[in-house]
Amino acid sequence: MTHAAKWLGVASTAVLATFGATSAHATGTLAGTTITNTASISYSVNSIAQTAATTSNSVVVDRKVIFTVTGAGSTTTVTPGQSVAYDTFTLLNSSNDTLDFSLASVNQASGGTAAHGGTDAFDVTGFTYYIDTNSNGVYDPGTDQAITWLDEVAPDTSKTVFVVSSVPLAATNTQVSGIVLTATAAAGGGTGSQGATLTASTGAWTPGTVQTVFADAAGSTDGQYDGKYSAKGDFTVYAPVLTLSKLSTVITDPINGTTNPKSIPGATVEYCIVVQNATGGAPTTALAVSDPLPTQTTYLSSFGIMLNGTFNGTSCNSDGTAGTGVNSSFAAATTGNNGTVNGTLNNVSAGGATTMRFRVTIN
C-alpha cells in the first residue's frame, strides 16, 4: 500500500454583515464585520487526488470605543455682558463604529486652574451647542446648526462643536471663566435619533454578537475606559478699566473777579469730568457721559460743552472741542435737578484719558 500524501491549504474571507464593503481605517476593521475563515485539506490516495475537505469559522468583530475631545488652542476673549460667547471643541471618533455622542458642559469650580493657565473667577451661563456646519472653524449664528448631541459620527471622523454661553455684566478685565465639555459615547445607526448610552460588555466573549470594549483614555475630569472624554476651555474678559472723576475750578466771582475767586453765589464754576482707562484695559466704545446738575447751580450756555479734552494727571487742560448736534446737549430740568449735561466722547485706548468740561453759576 502506498501511504497517502497530505497537505493543508487555508483561505480566509471577510464579509460585512451590516456595513457593506470594508475600507481601510486607522481604527481597524469595522464593528459588526463577519470574518469568515475557511480551512481545507487536500490529499491523494494511490496518487489519485481526493475531494478536499473544508471547515469554516466566523467571528463577528466587536466594537472598540475610543475617541478624544480637544479644546481650543487659546482662550476665548469676551466682554462683560456678552450674550453670545463661544468656545471651540473638536471631537475625533477613532472607534471602529459609527457612534452618537451626548454633550454636557459645566463651569469649573472657582479658584481652579483653567485650560490656558488662568484662575477661574466667574461662571458663564446658559450652555447651548452648535455644530460647525460650514467647517470654517468660526461660530456663525444662523448658519451653524443647533444640536443637543453629535449624530452619526463615522470612524476616523472629527466634528467641531461650539459651546455658546453668556458672560455676566459684572465680569471685569482679565477675569477667567473655565468650562468643561464632556462627550459620552452612544450607539449609532439611526440618523436623527440619539442612540442609547453605551456600556462596556462584561463577562466572557459571546460569539456572533457585537460586544463593546471601552479603549478611551482619561480626559480632563473623567477616567480611563469609561466611554467618556472631557476637555477644558476658558473665556478671558477683555474690558475697559475705567476711572471716573469730577473736578471743579472757580473761574470768577462777583467780588474778586478772576483774582483768587471764591465759590460764592454768582460765581462761575467749571466742572471737568475725567474718564481714564487703565493700562491693559480694552478700548472703550460708545462712551457717553450724563451729569444732572444740582438745583443750586445754573448751566452757563454761553460757554457750552467742551468734549475730548486732555488731562495732565492733576487737572484738566483748557482744550477740547465744542460739542454740537448729537455730540452734546443740555436737557431741561427734571425733578430733583436743574438740567442735565450730556456728552458723547471719543473712544479711550488703554492708558488714555479724555474729558468733558462745562460751566455753571452758583445760584
Which CATH number characterizes residue 73's domain?
Answer: 2.60.40.10
Residue with the three cell numbers 453759576: 361
Residue whose C-alpha is closest to residue 88's, from 144, 146, 163: 163
- The CA distance from 109 to 86, in Å, is 19
* Top-confidence residue, 9 or 349: 349
Mean pLDDT on 301-313: 96
105: left (phi over 0), alpha (psi -120 to 50) or beta: beta
Pair (136, 224) in one structural domain = yes
Q: Are 216 and 227 within 8 A, CB to CB? A: yes
Same-domain check for residues 281 and 251: yes
Higher-confidence position of 95 and 22 = 95
pLDDT for 167-183, tens place per residue?
A: 999 999 999 999 999 99
Query: What is the rounded average pLDDT of the residues 108-130?
Result: 97
Question: Average pLDDT in the 335-346 region?
Answer: 93
Is residue 47's pLDDT more than 60? yes
Among the candidates 61, 92, 108, a domain finishes at: 61
Torsion over CA: 118, 119, 122, 126 (sign) = positive
Same domain, 280 and 317: yes
Confidence of residue 100 (pLDDT cuts 50, 70, 90): very high
Instruction: Report the chain's mean pLDDT, rounded to a whole number.
Output: 92
Residues 54 and 71 in one domain: no
Taking residues 76-82, what's their average pLDDT? 97
Name the pLDDT band for 11 (thresholds 50, 70, 90).
very low
Does position 49 have pLDDT exceeding 50, yes or no? yes
What pLDDT was estimated at residue 292? 95
* pLDDT band of 6, cuts 50, 70, 90: very low
Give the residue, 8 or 199, on which the prediction is more confident.
199
Rounded Cα distance between 94 and 229, Å, is 12
Q: What is the pLDDT of residue 71?
A: 98
Q: How many structural domains comprise the chain?
A: 3
Are 48 and 10 in the same domain? Answer: yes
Clarify whether residues 42 and 82 are in a common domain.
no
Looking at the chain, the whole-number percentage of residues with pLDDT higher than 90 is 89
Is 299 among the domain residues? Answer: yes
Which grid cell sits at 26? 486607522
Single residue among 237, 272, 297 that ends a domain in this structure = 237
Instruction: Decide if 184 contacts 101 (C-beta within 8 A).
Output: yes
Task: Write down the pLDDT at residue 26.
Answer: 62
172 & 262 share domain: no
Which domain does 200 fall in, by range? 65-237
pLDDT at 18 > cutoff 80: no
Residues 53 and 118 in one domain: no
Confidence at residue 25, expressed as pLDDT on a 0 to 100 scale: 54
Whether 315 and 358 map to the same domain: the answer is yes
| 222-238 tens-digit pLDDT | 999 999 999 999 999 99
Do residues 118 and 139 both lie within one domain? Answer: yes
Q: Is residue 41 part of a domain?
A: yes
Residues 163 and 250 in one domain: no
Domain boundary among 190, 219, 237: 237
Per-residue pLDDT at 13 exceeds 80 = no
